[in-house]
């Protein structure tokens, strides 16, 4: 198998950037389409989303130049800071939304610490695996301590309560440990031991969990029912941008159910284009990861890409009624600063790995010949 050329690495970087940018622009258009010009400040969500996109772009640029290797070294401090932010949510009197405490009110903006926890775990598991080396795959010296950090993070998120983000964090951490050398046999044994603890923990939030399950097994949630109606109303080509009615009937359409607005106003083909952009982003991210020369670089790029792809899959599955509702945003499309800023950092770190790959690549062109003027 031939090594990718510099041009191929550049193409993957371009695909990643253009896919993320296109999705972010669609996210702004969704806020324009579902916002009301009769609001106190016309299209206020759309204006704020533009600010978030610009800020996310700045963070992506900063992470790209700062480098993923430096970020890996700072990973423990990032995880500890995330724990502190998650613990703040448990302070009595913190405002609740929908029966859960997930946001820290910072005046003009709100912060959702669970969004930061995902990227913090990607970097921390990478750091921990590099630190432990060959012993990371052992139960006592590697997996048990690593699972301890994961358990604290997931426990704090579950106490909000946020079952959807907890499931995503567990899946993300599991994949991160496996790709960093954890023996699957040992890992599955520990997961088996941890399942009763998770079930017991969920029992403390049983009313919340039961409500989600009963809603799915029964007639389904109101949001999903209404969403499916407007999915079908979009037809093949949609009603046109700004011509939809779903925002009048589907709660949280600007956030968790943004794909409903896409399907209604741009139709089946528009929804397919969005899914295609997620596939292009995922393809380029995973290709960048597989081309990495070092395990740490591979881990960061693979983990960050998997994080985005998995969240998109879960959200699309929820809005189409395929799985129980989890209250999870869709990357780039949903309204919110915390998610976009985290995504900006993730894209920047993937691009940092891609730059490392490109700099190490051979300048050989597609025909196998060296560029004109190059030394043999």
Q: According to the model, what pLDDT value does residue 254 have?
A: 85
Q: According to the model, what pLDDT value does residue 228 have?
A: 77
Inter-residue contact 12 to 354 (CB < 8 Å): yes
Q: Which of 24-38, 193-207, 250-264, 270-284 has the highest mean pLDDT?
A: 270-284
Q: Answer with the residue of higher pLDDT: 141 or 209.
A: 141
- Other Cβ atoms closer than 10 A to 185: 7
Rounded Cα distance between 32 and 173, Å, is: 36
Helical H runs in 67-143? 68-73, 75-88, 113-132
pLDDT cut 90: percent of the chain above it? 42
Rounded Cα distance between 304 and 121, Å, is: 10
Task: Reply yes or no on whether the pLDDT at 33 is more than 60.
Answer: yes
Q: Is the peptide bond before 47 cis (omega within 30 degrees of 0)?
A: no
Q: According to the model, what pLDDT value does residue 1 have?
A: 54
Q: Is the peptide bond before 25 cis (omega within 30 degrees of 0)?
A: no
Digit-coded pLDDT (tens) for 163-180: 788 889 988 998 999 899
Paired residues of 110 in beta bridges: 105
Q: According to the model, what pLDDT value does residue 164 have?
A: 82
pLDDT cut 70: percent of the chain above it? 83
Q: According to the model, what pLDDT value does residue 209 have?
A: 58
Give CA 200 to chain center in angstroms. Answer: 27
Inter-residue contact 322 to 371 (CB < 8 Å): no
- Across the range 284-302, mean pLDDT stands at 95
Task: Reply yes or no on whether the pLDDT at 196 is more than 70.
Answer: no
Rounded Cα distance between 184 and 178, Å, is: 7
Task: Reply yes or no on whether the pLDDT at 242 is more than 60.
Answer: yes
Using DSSP's 3-state secondary structure scheme, residue 105 falls into: strand
Q: What is the pLDDT confidence band of residue 372, given thresholds at 50, 70 and 90?
A: very low
Task: Reply yes or no on whether the pLDDT at 375 is more than 60.
Answer: no
Q: What is the pLDDT confidence band of residue 50, given thresholds at 50, 70 and 90?
A: very high
Q: According to the model, what pLDDT value does residue 80 have?
A: 96
Q: Which of 34-43, 62-71, 107-116, 259-268 has the highest mean pLDDT?
A: 62-71
Q: According to the model, what pLDDT value does residue 282 have?
A: 97
Q: According to the model, what pLDDT value does residue 238 have?
A: 82
Q: Answer with the residue of higher pLDDT: 326 or 201.
A: 326
Contacts of residue 282, defined as CB under 8 A and 6 or more positions apart, other chains included, come to 305, 308, 309
Task: Reply yes or no on whether the pLDDT at 82 is more than 90.
Answer: yes
Q: Which two tokens stand for residue 339?
A: 């998610």
Q: What is the pLDDT confidence band of residue 193, given thresholds at 50, 70 and 90?
A: low
Q: According to the model, what pLDDT value does residue 362 have?
A: 61
Q: Which two tokens stand for residue 109?
A: 């903006």
Q: Answer with the residue of higher pLDDT: 197 or 40.
A: 197
Q: State the average pLDDT for the chain.
A: 83
Task: Reply yes or no on whether the pLDDT at 369 is more than 60.
Answer: no
Digit-coded pLDDT (tens) for 321-350: 777 777 788 999 998 889 999 999 999 999
Q: According to the model, what pLDDT value does residue 187 have?
A: 62
Rounded Cα distance between 41 and 37, Å, is: 8
Backbone φ and ψ of 97, nearest 5°: -135, 120
Q: According to the model, what pLDDT value does residue 206 have?
A: 53
**What residues does each domain of the chain span?**
23-66+220-363, 82-218
Q: Which two tokens stand for residue 116?
A: 């930061």
């Amino acid at each position: 198998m031939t090594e990718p050329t510099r041009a191929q690495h550049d193409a993957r970087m371009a695909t990643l950037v253009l896919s993320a940018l296109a999705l972010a622009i669609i996210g702004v258009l969704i806020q324009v389409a579902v916002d009301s010009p009769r609001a106190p400040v016309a299209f206020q969500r759309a204006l704020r989303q533009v600010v978030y996109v610009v800020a996310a772009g700045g963070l992506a640029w900063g992470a790209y130049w700062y480098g993923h290797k430096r970020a890996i070294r700072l990973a423990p401090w990032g995880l500890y800071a995330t724990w502190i932010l998650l613990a703040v949510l448990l302070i009595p009197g913190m405002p609740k939304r929908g029966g859960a405490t997930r946001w820290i009110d910072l005046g003009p903006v709100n912060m959702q610490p669970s969004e930061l926890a995902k990227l913090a775990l990607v970097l921390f598991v990478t750091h921990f695996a590099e630190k432990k080396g060959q012993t990371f795959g052992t139960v006592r010296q590697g997996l048990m301590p690593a699972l301890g950090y994961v358990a604290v993070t997931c426990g704090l998120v579950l106490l909000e309560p946020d079952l959807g983000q907890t499931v995503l964090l567990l899946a993300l951490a599991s994949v991160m440990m496996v790709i960093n050398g954890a023996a699957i046999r040992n890992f599955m044994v520990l997961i088996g031991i941890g399942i009763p603890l998770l079930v017991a923990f969920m029992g403390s939030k049983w009313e919340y969990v039961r409500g989600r399950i009963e809603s799915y097994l029964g007639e389904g949630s109101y949001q999903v029912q209404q969403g499916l109606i407007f999915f079908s109303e979009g037809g093949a080509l949609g009603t046109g941008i700004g011509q939809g009615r779903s925002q009048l009937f589907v709660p949280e359409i600007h956030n968790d159910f943004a794909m409903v607005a896409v399907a209604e106003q741009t139709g089946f083909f528009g929804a397919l284009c969005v899914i295609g952009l997620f596939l292009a982003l995922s393809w380029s991210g995973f290709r960048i990861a597989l081309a990495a020369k070092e395990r740490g670089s591979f881990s960061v790029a693979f983990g960050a890409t998997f994080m985005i792809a998995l969240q998109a899959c879960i959200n699309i599955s929820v809005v189409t009624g395929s799985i129980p509702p989890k209250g999870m945003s869709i990357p780039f499309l949903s309204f919110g600063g915390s998610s976009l800023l985290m995504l900006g950092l993730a894209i920047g770190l993937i691009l940092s790995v891609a730059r490392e790959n490109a700099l190490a690549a051979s300048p050989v062109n597609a025909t196998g010949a060296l560029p004109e003027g190059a030394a043999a």
